[in-house]
Amino acid sequence: MTEDNFVDYVKVVVRSGNGGAGSSHLRREKFVAKGGPDGGDGGDGGNIIFKTDKNLWTLFHFKFKKHFKADHGENGGKSRSSGANGRDEIIKIPVGSVIKDTVNGKVLFESIEDGEEFNAVSGGKGGLGNWHFKSSTNQTPKYSQPGVEGSEKKLTIELKVLADVGFVGFPNSGKSTLLSVITDATPKIGDYEFTTLKPNLGIVKYKDFNTFVVSDIPGIIKGASKGKGLGHHFLRHIERNSILIFLVSCESKNIDKKFNILIDELRKYNKELLDKEKLLVVTKCDLIPKDKLSDLKLNNKLKSLSVDVHFISSITRYGIETLKDLMWKKLNTQ
Ligand SMILES: Nc1nc2c(ncn2[C@@H]2O[C@H](COP(=O)(O)OP(=O)(O)OP(=O)(O)O)[C@@H](O)[C@H]2O)c(=O)[nH]1
Ligand SMILES: [Mg+2]
């Protein structure tokens, strides 16, 4: 998946179908002098239905289509025949989509499982035909109900990536490189900050038959919660991860402080993120001499953090296999 195709936010306009009108037909037959009313009911207008589809990964398919309409119900006919209901408009969304009312921001639906359906806008009811209105005082009512009009809604769809493991770190800390080393994903990697602008996903194949999904998100910096850097709205993509891996480069002077800044930014976004299983990974360990690395492993400040610390190098693959073991273990102790 390339970054251009990763669409995770769209606004759409949907409209359900109008109900068909009831018929005012009066029966006329050769040998029936006063046939009476026999106008059928109008069909209901089609609904706007969102359906979760596990084969979709992004909201890319909305890039070229943002308006959706269901069909109108047909009008009622003679001989009490009802009009057909209008066809529903079924809109496919990936697992992890959140549908909000664009006008008031209210969350209307969150898709968690494949195949779930959400009726976002019901079609207008069909009108009743005139035979319903026959009474002792009015044997031949000409009145029938019109159908109810469909309604329009403005909706916002947001995607929250569903990965098992999420990488969190400052720009340039080696998140995308790690993703490229443990999965088949080929994210953009660069020696500059904010190389990654959209989340990347990859599948880790673990010990022959097991797999889990990891996601790499853009870097965050101090003040991200106030909009610094790329801001922190993309943190929604780690809301559903089971475990969070915090990456800090071994070149950083105070790894413990850097870790705490990341924790702080997450707390400002959504403090529930901190309840997740965490792991601090010190990256790029090939860049420091062996004795320094040994010192770092014994560093008291790091040891006193309330999180396990692991050391890796994506370039030399140092600590990579054991990192996979750790992730797998944490995922399975949930
Ligand atoms: N020496 C060394 N360099 C690394 C290692 N991992 C990543 N790098 C380099 O660090 C730089 C940043 O790597 P990225 O993987 O793009 O970092 P990122 O965290 O994804 O950065 P953003 O997308 O900007 O947030 C690149 O020049 C990588 O080649 C490593 O283990 N050792
Ligand atoms: Mg990156």
For 104-115, write each residue's pLDDT tens digit: 999 999 998 899
Atom of ligand 1 nearest to the CA of 247: 19
Which residue's alpha carbon is nearest to atom 21 within ligand 1? Answer: 172
Which residue's alpha carbon is nearest to atom 6 within ligand 1? Answer: 174
Query: Tokens at residue 227, please?
Result: 């909009």
- DSSP strand pairing (97-101 vs 152-159): antiparallel
Query: Tokens at residue 308, please?
Result: 């396990």
CA-CA distance, 236 to 4, in Å (whole number)? 19
Predicted pLDDT at 151:
98
CA-CA distance, 118 to 141, in Å (whole number)? 39
Predicted pLDDT at 32:
67
* Sign (positive or negative) of CA dihedral 13, 14, 20, 21: negative
Ligand 1 mutation target, pool 3, 175, 177, 197, most atoms within 8 A of CB: 177
CA-CA distance, 202 to 254, in Å (whole number)? 30
For 3-38, write each residue's pLDDT tens digit: 566 788 999 999 999 999 999 999 887 776 677 899
Q: DSSP label at 305?
A: S
Whole-prediction pTM value? Answer: 0.74
Are residues 58 and 17 in contact, defined by beta-carbon separation less than 8 angstroms? no
**Tens place of pLDDT per residue across the chain (334 aa):** 555 667 889 999 999 999 999 999 998 877 766 778 999 999 999 999 999 998 888 899 998 999 999 999 999 999 999 999 999 999 999 988 999 999 999 999 999 889 999 999 999 999 999 999 998 888 889 899 999 999 999 999 998 877 899 999 999 999 999 999 999 889 999 999 888 888 888 889 998 788 899 999 999 998 888 888 888 888 888 888 889 999 999 999 999 999 999 999 999 999 999 999 999 999 999 999 999 999 999 999 999 999 999 999 999 999 999 999 999 999 988 6
Domains and CATH numbers, the chain: 1-159 (2.70.210.12), 165-332 (3.40.50.300)
Nearest to residue 89, comparing CAs of 120, 56, 123, 49? 49
Name every residue whose Cβ is closer than 8 Å to that of residue 293 and which is 6 or more positions away in sequence.
250, 285, 311
Q: What is the CA angle 305-307-308, rounded to 5?
A: 115
* Closest ligand relative to 224 C-alpha: 1
Atom of ligand 1 nearest to the CA of 219: 25
| Ligand 1 geometric centre to CA of 189 (Å) | 6
Amino acid identity of residue 131, one-letter, is W
CA-CA distance, 39 to 41, in Å (whole number)? 7
| Ligand 2 geometric centre to CA of 189 (Å) | 6
Name every residue whose Cβ is closer than 8 Å to that of residue 253 and which is 6 or more positions away in sequence.
none
For residue 190 and ligand 1, the question of a CB distance below 6 A is answered with: yes
- DSSP strand pairing (48-52 vs 117-121): antiparallel
CA-CA distance, 170 to 233, in Å (whole number)? 15
